[in-house]
Amino acid sequence: MLIKRSEDIPSSDITPESTYLNRRKFIAGFGLGGALGSSMIRSQFDSAKVLEDEFSRTQKDWSRVRSDLDEELNSYEDVTTYNNFYEFGTGKDDPAKNSHTLKPHPWNIEVDGLCAKRGTYGLEEFIKPRNMEDRVYRLRCVEAWSMVIPWYGFSLKEVIDWAEPLGSARYIEFTSLYNLEQMPMQRSFVLEWPYVEGLRLDEARHPLTILVTGVYGRELPNQNGAPLRLIVPWKYGFKGIKSIVKIRFTETQPLNTWQQSTPREYGFYANVNPGVDHPRWSQARERRLGELRKRPTLMFNGYGEQVANLYSGMDLRLNF
């Protein structure tokens, strides 16, 4: 999944306050977002109340927003009907059809491992200690296809700093919900369940690494990983674990789900390197959803200037 930096615009040009639907359910006035790689855009969401029939206007407002590559946003329908979420099926349209069984409220998150703040926290309790500011993010994302998406969220570093990892902690591990009633495809053997991902702590602390709670001025839909998911902008999409219920600080490198399932094809790092082909396809080019043409895939998804120093001296053909 790829996030591309975008230029600042006035908050009045993005989305009116009234577009933030039912935010009080789980963040009670926290607005989430910011323009990655540029100055933060702030807008207040206190007492936000949204009418469903206003959303068509919201889409028009968002469609005027363009990245610094002069790219238009994909539609809300694109963002929410073409997804990878294997807990609800392997087809791209399966999550939108099947994820109604997920119950994202109430939601608890366990914090465990080598840190001072071990415990289980409700989502509101988990977010509030972060002293977060209101932010708006416009993000570009890529897997085998790409989309330009208005996510909003907050820096993972804020969570890490609050949790106070011990000096021996070098990695952070994430685990998705495991619930056979809510996620029926977990009865299948398509992957090992529950879904697990991990990052080195320096990767996790990078300001471009975010936890996401919403999209297009709405709460994060079930099919997009409600109520909390990870976005790591310079890595492929399988690093973006969804419906997170646990974070754990470890001294040793976690074994992530895809690395466990097919280690020849998926490694721990998943940094975008278009010069290294996947064993079954080229990764040199990507296709924007809704377009026929392909475009070159950028090293580190275009974030080399910001993140290449994290991998100084590493062989990125071996550490894939």
pLDDT range class, residue 129, cuts 50, 70, 90: low
- Tell whether the model's pLDDT for residue 186 goes beyond 50: yes
In this predicted model, what pLDDT tens digit does every residue of 23-46 receive, in sequence order? 333 233 222 232 222 222 222 222
> Does 258 fall in a domain?
yes
pLDDT at 291: 85
Q: What confidence category does residue 308 fall into, taking pLDDT thresholds of 50, 70 and 90? A: very high
Domain ranges, residue 258: 11-311
Whether residue 7 is predicted with pLDDT greater than 60 in this model: the reply is no
In a domain, 318, yes or no: no
Per-residue confidence band for 135, with pLDDT thresholds at 50, 70 and 90: low
276, 297 Cβ separation under 8 angstroms? no
CB atoms within 10 A of CB 70: 7
> pLDDT for 146-157, tens place per residue?
887 777 788 899
Tell me what the mean pLDDT of segment 218-230 comes to: 95
Whether 3 is in a domain gets the answer no
Predicted confidence (pLDDT) per residue in 188-207, tens digit: 999 999 999 999 999 999 98
User: Is the residue at 118 inside a domain?
Assistant: yes
CATH code assigned at 262: 3.90.420.10
Domain count, the chain: 1
What's the whole-number average pLDDT of the chain?
Answer: 79
pTM for the predicted model, two decimal places: 0.80
Q: Report if residue 234 sits inside a domain.
A: yes
In a domain, 283, yes or no: yes
Examine residue 70 and state whether it is found in any structural domain, yes or no: yes
In a domain, 319, yes or no: no
What per-residue confidence (pLDDT) applies to 62? 55
